[in-house]
Structure 1
Amino acid sequence: MKILLTTLNSKYIHSNLAIKYLYMSALENRRFIDMREFTINNDEDYVYTEIIRGGYNVVCFSCYIWNMTKTIYLAENIKKARPDIKILLGGPEVSYDSIEFLRKHKSIDFIIVGEGEEVFKQFCEMTLTNGKAYEKINGLIYRSNGKIYVNPPADVQHFETVPFPYSALLPADDRIVYYESVRGCPFNCSYCLSSIEKHVRPLPLERVKRELNFFLLRRVRQVKFIDRTFNYDIQRCNEIIKYLMENDNGLTNFHFEICAELINDEFIELLKSARKGLFQVEIGIQSLNPLTLEAVRRPKNTERLLHNIRRIIAVETVHTHVDLIAGLPFEDYISFVHSFNGVYALGADQFQLGFLKLLKGTELRAKKEMYEYVFRDVAPYEVIANRFISADGIARLKMVENILDLYYNRKGFDRSLRYAIENFTETAFDFYEEFAYFFYLKGYQNRSHKKEDLYRIFFEFATWKDRSLPGAADEVKKLLILDMSDTLNPDAIKKFDRKGWAIL
């Protein structure tokens, strides 16, 4: 009997924490369990062949919005090739409409609903002993003799009983290492799956320190906390940060997501004395519209929020990442422009313009008729329009997002962007919107571009603006040359000079 734990990650650099938890929970049967991680970018035939040739009796997939479509396709073809293989799915993408899902997808035999460590352990024991009394496993939904059976939900997992996922599985040197010190979230944002669980379940602080020390001794490059709100308990947060600073190995970077309204002076002072590159901080702003924040149950004290974010950004040792979400209730195009300009002015290292996804199980998806949401029927269920913003408006924001990523988030255009925003348009959003229209009018969105070509396109845009702002092109060219000298290596600059400023 052979069982495979697998998933399709969104990128090679990512890793899957969930299947590591499952593997460790069933460790006593590890000789019967393989674990493989693929990506959605792998050739489908390659993944299919690797699984088929493995001779597995059960294949278990970890399912998310980014891999659901390909996972179903893969499962269906595995079942066609080997009807005797049993297929189990788990994860947030199959936990909220499991019965309907099984009715629709005949190739799936089992679904684990919710947290799966204890359920999977019992499932393996039952399968490996040929007990097949699956009705005894709470948290499992399954198909047998053409019928679907729904077992009672599993008890909430005692998080401290879940084993450290890396104690028998060493982290890969070339991937981000994901770590979880808390399950649950104190907030109830209506678009987020974390809002479903009302309780926060932290690991004991001493255990967290011990496990983080494992990563420090291993000298992994990056540890990314998946805690929904790392600083829900600010004293606990500060204690962990202090420990990481005291045991800093000079290499490992730690990334965590915080609620900026909860920070205190001690948090800021700790960051000020940290090694540059030790910490990355992600802050979800989502909107500056008070009606929007109220509708999705986000904290509404934007003045305190922005003030605290400025304090964090002023700490130059910390990399900051801020987010906005387009498509939320009451956020029309004009409102979003206001939110964009307010967030852009913060000057964070990364500014992600995201688009709302109506996830299964969330309150906002249940209210889709109230807000007249139109969204994609398949994962990731991204919003197309609602009664506040049209499909055309969303498409325009996607154009802006593209330019923001290419020029602001990719870095290397600081002087040129600052000058253009101050002189070409009234606001930052106006600049990115106008640049986006130019970029798409010229058809540059239809192909990928090397970094040096982005400088040429910027200069071409400045030349176009020169008609109404004489001298703008020459000034931008000077600034682009300075920006290039900070970003490109000398050989790349020499090659650029040989080719010139024209787009070929």
Structure 2
Amino acid sequence: MKKRKVALVILHTGRPADLASPLFHANALFLLKAYLESRPEIAARYEFEIIDLRRHVPYNLGLAVEQNIDIVQEVAARRPDVVAFSLYLWNVEAGQALAQVLRRFLPRAVFVAGGPEVSDRREFARMFPGFDVLVEGDGEVPFRRVLEALARGRRPRDIGGVSFLQDGRWVHDPRTAELAPPDEIPDVHAANRGLLEGRGFYLTTRGCPYDCAMCLWARQPMRRRARERILTELAGLIDSPLSGLTLFDYDLLEVYARDPAFFDRLTRLVRARRDGFGLNFFVNPRYLTDPRLPEVMDAFRSHHVLVGLQSTSPACLEAIGRGWSRAWLGALEQAPPAIRSRIFLELIFPLPGQTSAGFLASLRRLLALGYFRLQIFQLCLLRGTALYRRRRALGLRHLERPPYACIATPSISADECLRIGVLCQALNLLRDLADAAPDRRPFAEYFRRDRKVLDRLLAPIDRGATSWDVADLLSREITGRPLELDHAR
């Protein structure tokens, strides 16, 4: 029996980064492929190929550009029966455009969309009509069910989390997707060792116990792989060409609070590398004062630890479903000064109830305390989140198409959102500069010495300066050199 072909398409990744390996750029597709190939009934009927299109320019201009012709050729030449995309806010427009053109060359193919963008399937189908089947939530089991139905010549009916197009109308199954036990998914890193390069990331869990209003992770139940399986996979990743690894669990110290042996085993694995390899990880703000934090950071040779602060305003935290973290704000001032320069603080702007003055005051305070490695995200109103459902009641204005950025709130005008957004991006660029600096003390000293620096930086922004211009100014004042980063200007 001739096997049907399934093309799993990797689109562009949105921004330059040191995640050089497609295993991390498109982790979901590799996990999906590994799971499906491990199922005998699927492997007997289908063959799977991951098609990596990242070397081309993003597809969005039709067939008029030479690279776009090559993109269409790379997929169409395989003559796949099924073409599947994992879609995010940075590639969904390109995926939609590519699917619509590929349909002209592959009229019998079934086009499947999954990934975080496929939240609220009815709305997704309205906005992105280029697909035949939609898979919402974890894709392993639902996509397997879809392929089983297609192999029998049937519609993918009665599959939780799946919608399909029939006679021009969408049929939606409102049930949530069936979940695959985490340990049923093979080790994709061991199977693709030749693709490991640059920095990587790893999740020991899926889901999140919190219910943040702006985040899609809040919709997923917590699941965790077996401890020995985790350590075996981490051992393989650490003993690989990777230069470093980030553990992307929501809070490493909380997940393994009662398992000191886990940290001991992991420390030995890291220390076996003699080339400076290190592990970065996430913690909640409350662990900034935990005596274990600097110990674990040193043991793991952590370049940085990521802290999902999001805001220093109790009211803003309450508005986004993070009221539980208000009690931990005091940890910012109580944290040992020695570790502050090793902390990545994540913030979001603009938030409901936030004001420009309040946000700038928060930035001044954090910079004065020595937290200059900031990652400030623009609030994106993602379909499927609680904040998206409440957006009109909260008076939040946002872009209707990706990246769905919030551009105004009742307390912050569109002009102010843009103005402060440029400042935030300049501080993000400065963080990247500090990351590469052999000595980060001048950065901390600069912000401690000059408490009015943000006001000085807003002046050129008001005259039309870009975030790169502002970051370049900061670089010259702090290091005496112009800004030089790998980012495209």
Query: TM-score, normalized by length of structure 1?
Result: 0.80
Residue matched to 1:281: 305
SS in 1 for 2:426: helix
In the alignment, structure 1 residue 17 sits paired with structure 2 residue 27: yes
In the alignment, structure 1 residue 37 sits paired with structure 2 residue 52: yes
CA distance in 2, matches of 1:174, 1:124: 32
Mapping of residues 227-242 of structure 1, within 5 Å = 227-235=249-257, 238-242=260-264
CA change 1:346–1:209 in 2 (3 A) is farther
Which residues of structure 2 form unaligned runs of 5+? Answer: 20-24, 60-67, 485-489
Residue matched to 1:139: 161
Mapping of residues 220-231 of structure 1, within 5 Å = 220-231=242-253
- Which residue type is aligned with residue 284 of structure 2? C
* Counterpart among 305, 326, 337 of residue 331 in structure 2: 305
Tell me, yes or no, if the aligned pair for 1:185 and 1:229 is still in contact at 8 Å: no
Deviates more, 1:59-68 or 1:151-160: 151-160
Mapping of residues 325-404 of structure 1, within 5 Å = 325-348=348-371, 350-404=373-427
SS in 2 for 1:135: coil
CA distance in 1, matches of 2:431, 2:231: 36
Q: Kindly state the Cα deviation for residue 51 of structure 1 after the two structures are TM-superposed.
A: 1.1
Tell me, yes or no, if the aligned pair for 2:376 and 2:425 is still in contact at 8 Å: no
In the alignment, structure 1 residue 2 sits paired with structure 2 residue 5: yes
Q: Deviations over 1:457-481 (max 9, x none)?
A: 876xxxxxxxxxxxxxxxx6xx755
Q: Deviations over 1:266-319 (max 9, x none)?
A: 52353364264x4531111111111111222221014443146x33x6248x84
Q: Deviations over 1:317-373 (max 9, x none)?
A: x84211111111111111101221222233246212221111111111111122200
- Which residue type is aligned with residue 416 of structure 2? G
Query: TM-score, normalized by length of structure 2?
Result: 0.82
CA change 1:171–1:349 in 2 (3 A) is farther
Residue matched to 2:64: none
CA distance in 2, matches of 1:81, 1:200: 41
In the alignment, structure 1 residue 190 sits paired with structure 2 residue 213: yes
CA distance in 2, matches of 1:387, 1:184: 32
Deviates more, 1:352-361 or 1:152-161: 152-161
SS in 2 for 1:207: helix
- Which residue type is aligned with residue 194 of structure 1? W
SS in 2 for 1:32: strand
In the alignment, structure 1 residue 252 sits paired with structure 2 residue 277: yes
CA distance in 1, matches of 2:104, 2:364: 53
* Number of residues of Structure 1 aligned to a counterpart in Structure 2: 451
Q: Deviations over 1:194-220 (max 9, x none)?
A: 2223x4222222221111011122242
In the alignment, structure 1 residue 159 sits paired with structure 2 residue 214: no
Q: Deviations over 1:110-151 (max 9, x none)?
A: 011111111222333443x34335225333211123332223
CA change 1:139–1:20 in 2 (3 A) is same
Residue matched to 1:26: 36
CA distance in 2, matches of 1:113, 1:406: 34
CA distance in 2, matches of 1:186, 1:178: 20
Q: Kindly state the Cα deviation for residue 64 of structure 1 after the two structures are TM-superposed.
A: 0.9
- Which residue type is aligned with residue 377 of structure 2? G
Residue matched to 2:63: none
CA distance in 2, matches of 1:336, 1:237: 38
Q: Kindly state the Cα deviation for residue 59 of structure 1 after the two structures are TM-superposed.
A: 0.7
- Which residue type is aligned with residue 82 of structure 1? L
CA change 1:419–1:123 in 2 (3 A) is closer
Q: Kindly state the Cα deviation for residue 265 of structure 1 after the two structures are TM-superposed.
A: 4.2
CA distance in 2, matches of 1:40, 1:345: 42
Mapping of residues 406-425 of structure 1, within 5 Å = 406-411=429-434, 421=447
Give the superposed CA RMSD. Answer: 3.2
Which residues of structure 1 form unaligned runs of 5+? Answer: 460-475, 489-504
Mapping of residues 452-491 of structure 1, within 5 Å = 454=472, 480-481=479-480
Tell me, yes or no, if the aligned pair for 2:8 and 2:49 is still in contact at 8 Å: yes
